[in-house]
Every structure is written in structure tokens, then in C-alpha cells.
Amino acid sequence: MTAVRSVAAGMNGQIKMLSIKNLHASVGDREILRGVNLEVPTGEVHAIMGPNGSGKSTLSYVLAGRDGYDITDGSILFGGEEIVETPAEERAAKGIFLAFQYPLEIPGVATMTFLKAAMNAQRKARGEAELTTPDFMRRVKVAAEKLNVTQEMLRRPLNVGFSGGEKKRNEILQMALLEPKLAILDETDSGLDIDALKTVSDGVNALRAPDRSMLVITHYQRLLDHIVPDVVHVMAAGRIVRSGGPELALELEANGYADYVGAAAA
Ligand code: ADP
Ligand code: MG
């Protein structure tokens, strides 16, 4: 265990993969995150649910280090290390992965080429040697088959003309290949039919590991039937307003978010 990790472990010895304290973030003069507090221990899967517009995607972008957001207060510790000032590429190299709600289309770059570049950039940042082409091909083949990503999709430009389900499967393929420490999945269930939802969920569940944490963001409860989280958090008006076990997701499904929206705005 490194020095940084033992500090993160604190007095009770529990290591926090992610520890967010009083996080405030704005776009221009509009404050979107209004004091987020959230802790995700190493090895756990946490879900964030909440009404549209509550700041879920903003939180995921701020964690990934995307440009355009001003962090006006608070802190984000990743493995005990402050990352508020850390650029997005460095966060990715440290092991933070964000699967987008709307995956980007990149015409002119074959999916396969993109995957290889992403893997090698991360290996380089970690001081590891580049993958040889046969080694890369073997890894992609194994991971792609599990997610029903065909060879034909891998040859096509990244996400261009992919259906919603194909894009999401492709995001999970990237995640599987990059083996992140913290995976953030933003509405990975949106636009998926039941079969694709099962494929994506199986892919995510296969990546659960004692040294990996996941933050699964969703508006609906149905994804959490397949990816059963350790903890469910409710986000409303830019804050986490309630946390509980998996049963909280069922309660939200039954009662909706109305109680939280009123309380959070007050
Ligand atoms: P969610 O993912 O929970 O639906 P978002 O994080 O996408 O919520 O958005 C939260 C709020 O912040 C919304 O009211 C949205 O309109 C606003 N917002 C998000 N991004 C921007 C931006 N770049 N500029 C202005 N307002 C934004
Ligand atoms: Mg969103």
C-alpha cells in the first residue's frame, strides 16, 4: 500500500476510492453543483438517481475533468489525492473513466484505431510498454465478443451511424479494455432495449472487482435490477439529498422524485 493510500484509509482503515466534499461547480454565473458530498469506498458500486436537470451529468463531467466548469468550492479526493486541479488526461491516466450519456461520433477514425490509441496512451502514462498489434487484437477480440461488438463495427468510424445500443456497448468495451479504477457510467441504460440492457449490464457486472469502484448514474430504476448497487444516492438541485440501500431505488420508482425536488429547492 502506498503512502497516499494509507492516508486515504484514515483511522478506521477503510480506503475511499472517491471522496467528494462540499463540491460547488458553475457554468458561467450559473451554479449547478451546490455542495455535493459523496464517498465511494474501493470495490463498491454506487448508484446516483435523480430527476432530469438535477446535476448528474455535470457531476460526471466535473469528476472526469472536462473543460467549461468552474469549481468554486470543495474538494475531490481520488485515492486520497486532491484532483480538482488535475487535467482530464491525467485523471484518465490515473484510472478515472467516464462512459458518456451521449457518446461522441468521430468520423475518419476507425473504432479499432481509437481503442488502440486510447489503450496505449494510458499504458504510456503508467510507464508501461505499448501493446504489440497481436496482443492488442487478442484483447479486443475477447472483450468485443462478450459485448456483442462485431468485427464490422470495430472497422467502422467511431460511433458513426451506430445505434444507441451499439454506442453504449462500445463505451463498455472501452471501459473493459482500459480497466479503470473508477468507472462512471452516465445513463448507460438510456436508449437500450431489453436485450442490449442485459448485454451492457453483464459487461459492467463482469468488471466489478475489489480494487475497482463504479458510479452508475441513472434516471430509472430498471438498470439497477441488473447492476445491483451497494448504495443508492438521490441527487436533487445539485446536492446528494439522501442515501440508502438498493431498496431506495424501488421506493423512488414507486413514489417518483417530487418529495426531493421540493425539499432540495427549499
Ligand atoms: P442531469 O444529468 O441530472 O439531467 P445536468 O447535469 O445535465 O442534469 O444539468 C443540470 C442543470 O444544469 C440543468 O438545468 C442544465 O440545463 C444545466 N446545465 C448543464 N450544463 C450546462 C451548461 N453547459 N450551460 C448552462 N447550463 C447547463
Ligand atoms: Mg444527464
Q: Tens of pLDDT along 193-216?
A: 888 888 889 989 999 999 999 999
**Which residue's alpha carbon is nearest to atom 20 within ligand 1?**
58
The domain tally of the chain equals 1
Return the pLDDT at 2: 43
**Distance separating alpha carbons of residues 135 and 190, to the nearest angstrom:** 33
Judge contact between 22 and 73, C-beta under 8 A. yes
Is the pLDDT reported for residue 4 higher than 70?
Answer: no
Place of cell 421506493: 251
- Tell me 47's DSSP state: E
Return the pLDDT at 192: 83
Q: How far is the CA of 255 from the centre of ligand 1 (A)?
A: 24
**Which residue's alpha carbon is nearest to atom 13 within ligand 1?**
53
Q: How far is the CA of 177 from the centre of ligand 2 (A)?
A: 24
Return the pLDDT at 8: 45
- Residue 151 lies inside a defined structural domain of this protein: yes
**Distance separating alpha carbons of residues 146 and 247, to the nearest angstrom:** 29
Residues with CB under 6 A from ligand 1: 27, 30, 32, 50, 52-58
- Residue 72 lies inside a defined structural domain of this protein: no
Q: How far is the CA of 56 from the centre of ligand 2 (A)?
A: 5
CATH number of the domain bearing residue 143: 3.40.50.300
pTM beyond 0.75: the answer is yes
Q: What is the mean pLDDT of residues 8-13?
A: 49
- Residue 43 lies inside a defined structural domain of this protein: no
- Residue 78 lies inside a defined structural domain of this protein: no
- Residue 126 lies inside a defined structural domain of this protein: yes
- pLDDT category of residue 180 using cuts at 50, 70 and 90: very high
Q: Where are the alpha helices (DSSP H) in the chain?
A: 3-9, 56-64, 88-94, 111-125, 133-146, 151-155, 164-178, 194-206, 223-226, 247-255, 258-265
**Distance separating alpha carbons of residues 5 and 112, to the nearest angstrom:** 35
Q: What is the mean pLDDT of residues 211-236?
A: 94
Q: Give, in order, the Cα–Cα distances in Å from 254 to each of 34, 111, 183, 258.
A: 27, 40, 28, 11
Name the phi and psi angles at 53, rounded to 5.
Answer: 85, 5
**Bridge partner list, 209:** 212
- Residue 144 lies inside a defined structural domain of this protein: yes
Structural domain of 162: 49-66+86-265
- Residue 53 lies inside a defined structural domain of this protein: yes
Name the residues around ion ligand 2, CB cutoff 5 A.
Answer: 56-57
Is the pLDDT reported for residue 1 higher than 50?
Answer: no
